[in-house]
Amino acid sequence: MSQNPIRSVKQDEESSTSAEAQAHISRRNVLISGAAIAATLALSNAAFAFQPETTKPKSGFKGDTVNTLTVKDGNSIYYKDWGTGQPIVFSHGWPLTADAWDAQMLFFGQHGYRVIAHDRRGHGRSSQPWNGNDMDTYADDLAELFEKLDLKDAILIGHSTGGGEVARFIGRHGTKRVAKAVLISAVTPFMLQTPDHPGAPMSVFDDLRNGLVSNRTEFIRNLSIAFYGYNKPDAKISEGIRESFWLQSMMGGLKCEYDSIKAFSETDFRGDLAKFTIPTLVLQGDVDEIVPLQISGPLTAKLVKNSTLKIYPGQPHGLCTTFADQVNVDILAFIKL
Protein backbone atom coordinates (compact mmCIF):
# COMPACT_ATOMS: atom_id res chain seq x y z
CA MET A 1 0.00 0.00 0.00
CA SER A 2 1.49 3.40 -1.02
CA GLN A 3 1.90 6.18 1.51
CA ASN A 4 1.79 9.94 1.18
CA PRO A 5 5.31 11.38 0.97
CA ILE A 6 6.55 13.23 4.00
CA ARG A 7 6.67 16.92 3.22
CA SER A 8 9.34 19.14 4.72
CA VAL A 9 8.14 22.17 6.60
CA LYS A 10 10.18 25.30 7.02
CA GLN A 11 10.84 26.35 10.55
CA ASP A 12 8.81 29.32 11.60
CA GLU A 13 11.47 31.72 12.76
CA GLU A 14 8.97 34.03 14.43
CA SER A 15 7.58 31.20 16.63
CA SER A 16 10.96 29.87 17.78
CA THR A 17 12.02 30.67 21.27
CA SER A 18 15.31 32.47 21.60
CA ALA A 19 17.95 31.51 24.11
CA GLU A 20 17.53 34.88 25.73
CA ALA A 21 13.80 34.29 26.31
CA GLN A 22 14.46 30.87 27.79
CA ALA A 23 16.82 32.40 30.32
CA HIS A 24 14.00 34.45 31.83
CA ILE A 25 12.05 31.50 33.22
CA SER A 26 10.96 32.73 36.59
CA ARG A 27 12.14 31.24 39.84
CA ARG A 28 8.46 30.79 40.73
CA ASN A 29 7.88 28.53 37.71
CA VAL A 30 10.93 26.47 38.57
CA LEU A 31 9.64 25.95 42.10
CA ILE A 32 6.19 24.99 40.84
CA SER A 33 7.68 22.49 38.39
CA GLY A 34 9.88 21.04 41.09
CA ALA A 35 6.95 20.63 43.44
CA ALA A 36 4.91 18.90 40.73
CA ILE A 37 7.74 16.46 40.00
CA ALA A 38 8.15 15.71 43.69
CA ALA A 39 4.44 15.08 44.08
CA THR A 40 4.41 12.79 41.08
CA LEU A 41 7.34 10.78 42.42
CA ALA A 42 5.67 10.50 45.81
CA LEU A 43 2.48 9.17 44.25
CA SER A 44 4.44 6.71 42.10
CA ASN A 45 6.36 5.41 45.09
CA ALA A 46 3.13 4.99 47.02
CA ALA A 47 1.59 3.06 44.15
CA PHE A 48 4.56 0.74 43.89
CA ALA A 49 4.63 0.30 47.67
CA PHE A 50 1.02 -0.90 47.72
CA GLN A 51 0.59 -4.56 46.93
CA PRO A 52 -2.81 -6.27 47.07
CA GLU A 53 -3.13 -9.02 49.64
CA THR A 54 -2.68 -12.40 48.02
CA THR A 55 -1.83 -15.95 48.90
CA LYS A 56 1.90 -16.55 49.13
CA PRO A 57 3.26 -19.37 46.97
CA LYS A 58 4.01 -22.67 48.59
CA SER A 59 7.64 -23.29 49.44
CA GLY A 60 9.78 -25.68 47.44
CA PHE A 61 9.47 -23.95 44.08
CA LYS A 62 12.72 -22.10 43.56
CA GLY A 63 12.33 -18.82 41.72
CA ASP A 64 8.60 -18.47 42.30
CA THR A 65 7.09 -15.12 43.20
CA VAL A 66 3.54 -14.18 44.10
CA ASN A 67 1.31 -15.23 41.17
CA THR A 68 4.12 -16.69 39.09
CA LEU A 69 5.40 -20.24 38.78
CA THR A 70 8.90 -21.08 37.60
CA VAL A 71 8.57 -24.33 35.64
CA LYS A 72 11.21 -26.99 35.15
CA ASP A 73 12.86 -25.36 32.13
CA GLY A 74 13.23 -22.04 33.99
CA ASN A 75 10.39 -20.16 32.34
CA SER A 76 7.84 -18.18 34.31
CA ILE A 77 4.09 -18.81 34.17
CA TYR A 78 1.81 -16.03 35.38
CA TYR A 79 -1.52 -16.96 36.98
CA LYS A 80 -4.50 -15.47 38.79
CA ASP A 81 -5.80 -17.19 41.89
CA TRP A 82 -8.97 -15.73 43.38
CA GLY A 83 -11.34 -16.84 46.13
CA THR A 84 -11.73 -20.07 48.07
CA GLY A 85 -13.64 -23.31 47.66
CA GLN A 86 -13.58 -26.06 45.05
CA PRO A 87 -11.05 -24.99 42.40
CA ILE A 88 -12.00 -24.17 38.83
CA VAL A 89 -9.01 -23.92 36.49
CA PHE A 90 -9.34 -22.09 33.18
CA SER A 91 -7.15 -22.44 30.09
CA HIS A 92 -7.48 -19.66 27.52
CA GLY A 93 -7.57 -19.65 23.73
CA TRP A 94 -4.99 -18.46 21.22
CA PRO A 95 -3.61 -15.79 21.21
CA LEU A 96 -5.23 -14.43 24.38
CA THR A 97 -4.44 -14.43 28.11
CA ALA A 98 -6.06 -15.34 31.42
CA ASP A 99 -7.96 -12.05 31.17
CA ALA A 100 -10.20 -13.66 28.55
CA TRP A 101 -11.83 -15.53 31.46
CA ASP A 102 -12.73 -12.48 33.55
CA ALA A 103 -16.49 -12.92 33.04
CA GLN A 104 -16.26 -16.52 34.23
CA MET A 105 -13.81 -15.91 37.08
CA LEU A 106 -15.93 -13.16 38.60
CA PHE A 107 -19.13 -15.20 38.26
CA PHE A 108 -17.78 -18.41 39.76
CA GLY A 109 -15.77 -16.58 42.42
CA GLN A 110 -19.00 -14.92 43.53
CA HIS A 111 -20.63 -18.37 43.67
CA GLY A 112 -18.13 -19.70 46.18
CA TYR A 113 -15.46 -21.27 43.99
CA ARG A 114 -11.72 -20.76 43.89
CA VAL A 115 -10.93 -19.60 40.35
CA ILE A 116 -7.52 -19.92 38.71
CA ALA A 117 -6.36 -18.93 35.25
CA HIS A 118 -2.85 -18.77 33.83
CA ASP A 119 -1.20 -17.07 30.87
CA ARG A 120 0.09 -19.92 28.71
CA ARG A 121 3.85 -19.75 28.09
CA GLY A 122 4.54 -17.26 25.32
CA HIS A 123 1.30 -15.39 26.03
CA GLY A 124 0.43 -12.39 28.19
CA ARG A 125 2.60 -11.93 31.28
CA SER A 126 4.36 -15.29 31.10
CA SER A 127 7.84 -15.89 29.68
CA GLN A 128 8.34 -15.83 25.92
CA PRO A 129 10.68 -18.76 25.24
CA TRP A 130 12.07 -19.54 21.79
CA ASN A 131 11.46 -23.27 22.30
CA GLY A 132 8.82 -25.32 24.08
CA ASN A 133 5.76 -23.76 22.44
CA ASP A 134 4.03 -27.08 21.92
CA MET A 135 1.05 -28.87 23.38
CA ASP A 136 3.04 -31.35 25.49
CA THR A 137 4.88 -28.53 27.22
CA TYR A 138 1.70 -26.51 27.68
CA ALA A 139 0.14 -29.50 29.44
CA ASP A 140 3.22 -30.07 31.58
CA ASP A 141 3.26 -26.41 32.65
CA LEU A 142 -0.36 -26.78 33.71
CA ALA A 143 0.49 -29.93 35.65
CA GLU A 144 3.21 -28.02 37.53
CA LEU A 145 0.67 -25.32 38.40
CA PHE A 146 -1.68 -28.00 39.76
CA GLU A 147 1.15 -29.37 41.86
CA LYS A 148 2.30 -26.00 43.16
CA LEU A 149 -1.19 -25.01 44.25
CA ASP A 150 -1.97 -28.57 45.38
CA LEU A 151 -5.24 -28.54 43.48
CA LYS A 152 -7.62 -31.44 44.00
CA ASP A 153 -11.17 -32.20 42.86
CA ALA A 154 -10.78 -29.42 40.30
CA ILE A 155 -13.07 -28.44 37.44
CA LEU A 156 -10.84 -28.02 34.38
CA ILE A 157 -12.17 -25.72 31.65
CA GLY A 158 -10.55 -24.96 28.31
CA HIS A 159 -11.56 -22.72 25.43
CA SER A 160 -10.25 -23.19 21.88
CA THR A 161 -6.50 -23.92 22.15
CA GLY A 162 -7.08 -24.17 25.89
CA GLY A 163 -9.45 -27.06 25.18
CA GLY A 164 -6.57 -28.83 23.50
CA GLU A 165 -4.37 -28.09 26.50
CA VAL A 166 -6.98 -29.62 28.80
CA ALA A 167 -7.18 -32.73 26.62
CA ARG A 168 -3.40 -33.15 26.47
CA PHE A 169 -3.15 -32.53 30.24
CA ILE A 170 -5.55 -35.40 30.90
CA GLY A 171 -3.83 -37.56 28.29
CA ARG A 172 -0.42 -37.06 29.93
CA HIS A 173 -1.28 -36.59 33.61
CA GLY A 174 -4.60 -38.31 34.14
CA THR A 175 -7.59 -37.20 36.18
CA LYS A 176 -6.51 -37.84 39.75
CA ARG A 177 -6.71 -34.11 40.49
CA VAL A 178 -9.68 -33.36 38.22
CA ALA A 179 -13.37 -34.01 38.97
CA LYS A 180 -14.95 -32.70 35.75
CA ALA A 181 -13.93 -31.08 32.48
CA VAL A 182 -15.48 -28.52 30.15
CA LEU A 183 -14.36 -28.09 26.54
CA ILE A 184 -15.60 -24.90 24.87
CA SER A 185 -15.12 -24.27 21.13
CA ALA A 186 -12.13 -26.58 21.50
CA VAL A 187 -9.52 -27.49 18.90
CA THR A 188 -10.22 -31.13 19.67
CA PRO A 189 -10.24 -33.78 18.35
CA PHE A 190 -7.92 -32.73 15.48
CA MET A 191 -7.94 -29.51 13.44
CA LEU A 192 -5.93 -30.66 10.43
CA GLN A 193 -7.48 -32.36 7.43
CA THR A 194 -6.07 -35.83 6.78
CA PRO A 195 -7.24 -38.83 4.74
CA ASP A 196 -9.04 -40.19 7.82
CA HIS A 197 -10.24 -36.94 9.35
CA PRO A 198 -12.40 -34.06 8.00
CA GLY A 199 -10.38 -31.15 9.38
CA ALA A 200 -9.24 -27.94 7.72
CA PRO A 201 -6.57 -27.94 4.99
CA MET A 202 -3.01 -26.87 5.85
CA SER A 203 -3.47 -23.76 3.71
CA VAL A 204 -5.83 -22.34 6.36
CA PHE A 205 -3.10 -22.47 8.98
CA ASP A 206 -0.44 -21.23 6.56
CA ASP A 207 -2.65 -18.18 6.02
CA LEU A 208 -2.75 -17.62 9.77
CA ARG A 209 1.04 -17.76 9.96
CA ASN A 210 1.46 -15.44 7.00
CA GLY A 211 -0.97 -12.92 8.43
CA LEU A 212 0.72 -13.00 11.82
CA VAL A 213 4.17 -12.39 10.32
CA SER A 214 3.31 -9.84 7.65
CA ASN A 215 1.37 -7.40 9.85
CA ARG A 216 0.58 -8.81 13.25
CA THR A 217 -1.20 -5.79 14.67
CA GLU A 218 -3.59 -5.49 11.72
CA PHE A 219 -4.06 -9.25 11.49
CA ILE A 220 -5.04 -9.47 15.16
CA ARG A 221 -7.44 -6.57 14.86
CA ASN A 222 -9.18 -8.18 11.88
CA LEU A 223 -9.23 -11.62 13.52
CA SER A 224 -11.42 -10.27 16.32
CA ILE A 225 -14.27 -9.79 13.82
CA ALA A 226 -14.61 -13.50 13.03
CA PHE A 227 -13.68 -14.54 16.59
CA TYR A 228 -16.72 -12.78 18.06
CA GLY A 229 -19.04 -13.18 15.08
CA TYR A 230 -19.09 -9.47 14.39
CA ASN A 231 -19.39 -10.14 10.66
CA LYS A 232 -22.96 -11.42 11.11
CA PRO A 233 -25.66 -9.08 9.71
CA ASP A 234 -27.33 -8.70 13.11
CA ALA A 235 -24.13 -8.40 15.13
CA LYS A 236 -23.80 -5.70 17.77
CA ILE A 237 -20.13 -4.86 17.56
CA SER A 238 -18.33 -3.93 20.76
CA GLU A 239 -15.18 -1.95 20.02
CA GLY A 240 -14.16 -2.39 23.63
CA ILE A 241 -14.16 -6.18 23.27
CA ARG A 242 -12.18 -5.90 20.04
CA GLU A 243 -9.63 -3.62 21.71
CA SER A 244 -9.28 -6.04 24.61
CA PHE A 245 -8.71 -8.90 22.15
CA TRP A 246 -6.04 -6.87 20.38
CA LEU A 247 -4.31 -5.85 23.61
CA GLN A 248 -4.22 -9.36 25.05
CA SER A 249 -2.95 -10.79 21.77
CA MET A 250 -0.20 -8.20 21.34
CA MET A 251 1.13 -8.98 24.82
CA GLY A 252 2.33 -12.37 23.60
CA GLY A 253 5.60 -13.16 21.86
CA LEU A 254 5.50 -13.30 18.08
CA LYS A 255 7.60 -16.47 17.86
CA CYS A 256 5.49 -18.12 20.57
CA GLU A 257 2.22 -17.27 18.88
CA TYR A 258 3.62 -18.41 15.54
CA ASP A 259 4.65 -21.78 17.00
CA SER A 260 1.30 -22.13 18.74
CA ILE A 261 -0.49 -22.28 15.39
CA LYS A 262 1.31 -25.55 14.69
CA ALA A 263 0.55 -26.74 18.23
CA PHE A 264 -3.21 -26.25 18.00
CA SER A 265 -3.61 -27.29 14.36
CA GLU A 266 -1.31 -30.30 14.02
CA THR A 267 -1.77 -31.97 17.41
CA ASP A 268 -4.03 -35.01 17.25
CA PHE A 269 -6.02 -35.19 20.48
CA ARG A 270 -8.03 -38.30 19.69
CA GLY A 271 -5.88 -40.48 21.90
CA ASP A 272 -6.13 -37.98 24.76
CA LEU A 273 -9.91 -37.82 24.57
CA ALA A 274 -10.09 -41.61 24.82
CA LYS A 275 -8.42 -41.32 28.25
CA PHE A 276 -11.12 -39.10 29.76
CA THR A 277 -12.71 -40.88 32.73
CA ILE A 278 -14.66 -37.94 34.18
CA PRO A 279 -17.94 -36.20 33.29
CA THR A 280 -17.26 -33.74 30.48
CA LEU A 281 -19.34 -30.90 29.08
CA VAL A 282 -18.74 -29.92 25.44
CA LEU A 283 -20.00 -26.47 24.41
CA GLN A 284 -19.88 -24.75 21.02
CA GLY A 285 -21.70 -22.18 18.90
CA ASP A 286 -23.07 -23.26 15.55
CA VAL A 287 -21.61 -20.27 13.67
CA ASP A 288 -18.05 -20.73 14.92
CA GLU A 289 -15.77 -19.52 12.12
CA ILE A 290 -12.49 -20.20 13.93
CA VAL A 291 -13.08 -23.84 14.88
CA PRO A 292 -15.97 -25.00 12.67
CA LEU A 293 -18.62 -27.00 14.50
CA GLN A 294 -18.51 -29.92 12.06
CA ILE A 295 -14.87 -30.70 12.88
CA SER A 296 -15.00 -30.08 16.62
CA GLY A 297 -17.81 -30.32 19.18
CA PRO A 298 -19.87 -33.27 17.93
CA LEU A 299 -16.76 -35.30 17.05
CA THR A 300 -15.21 -34.54 20.43
CA ALA A 301 -18.37 -35.61 22.28
CA LYS A 302 -18.39 -38.94 20.43
CA LEU A 303 -14.85 -39.71 21.60
CA VAL A 304 -15.32 -38.75 25.26
CA LYS A 305 -17.13 -41.20 27.49
CA ASN A 306 -19.77 -39.70 29.78
CA SER A 307 -19.87 -36.45 27.81
CA THR A 308 -22.70 -33.97 27.24
CA LEU A 309 -22.85 -31.84 24.09
CA LYS A 310 -24.61 -28.47 24.04
CA ILE A 311 -24.74 -26.34 20.89
CA TYR A 312 -25.70 -22.67 20.98
CA PRO A 313 -27.58 -21.43 17.91
CA GLY A 314 -26.15 -18.25 16.42
CA GLN A 315 -23.14 -18.10 18.71
CA PRO A 316 -19.53 -17.58 17.52
CA HIS A 317 -16.16 -18.87 18.64
CA GLY A 318 -15.78 -16.31 21.41
CA LEU A 319 -19.03 -17.20 23.16
CA CYS A 320 -17.46 -17.04 26.62
CA THR A 321 -17.61 -13.28 26.03
CA THR A 322 -20.58 -12.79 23.68
CA PHE A 323 -22.84 -15.26 25.51
CA ALA A 324 -21.18 -15.27 28.92
CA ASP A 325 -24.33 -15.18 31.06
CA GLN A 326 -25.81 -18.35 29.54
CA VAL A 327 -22.46 -20.16 29.33
CA ASN A 328 -21.80 -19.43 33.00
CA VAL A 329 -25.21 -20.71 34.08
CA ASP A 330 -24.83 -23.90 32.03
CA ILE A 331 -21.37 -24.64 33.41
CA LEU A 332 -22.58 -24.00 36.98
CA ALA A 333 -25.47 -26.43 36.48
CA PHE A 334 -23.04 -29.04 35.13
CA ILE A 335 -20.70 -28.62 38.10
CA LYS A 336 -23.54 -29.06 40.56
CA LEU A 337 -24.84 -32.29 38.97
Q: Which residues are catalytic?
A: 160, 288, 317
Could you give the strand order of the β-sheet that contains 114-118, starting from the edge strand earlier in sequence? 68-70, 76-82, 114-118, 87-91, 154-159, 178-184, 280-285, 307-312
Name residue 310's beta-bridge partners.
283
Query: Rounded to whole angstroms, how far apart are CA atoms 290 and 287?
Result: 9
Side chain identity at residue 222, one-letter code: N
* Residue 135, helix vs strand vs coil: helix
Cβ partners under 8 Å of residue 38, min gap 6: none
CA of residue 287 relative to chain centroid, distance? 21
Query: Rounded to whole angstroms, how far apart are CA atoms 62 and 320?
Result: 35
Give the ranges where the chain is alpha helix by DSSP (H): 19-22, 27-49, 102-110, 135-149, 161-173, 202-214, 216-227, 239-250, 254-266, 270-273, 297-303, 319-322, 324-336
Q: Do residues 256 and 283 lie in contact, with contact meaning Cβ atoms separated by under 8 Å?
A: no
Q: Which helix (H) or strand (E) holds 156?
A: strand 154-159
Q: How many CB atoms lie within 10 A of CB 228?
A: 24
SS (H, E, C) 165-232: HHHHHHHHHCCCCEEEEEEECCCCCCCECECCECCECHHHHHHHHHHHHHCHHHHHHHHHHHHCCCCC
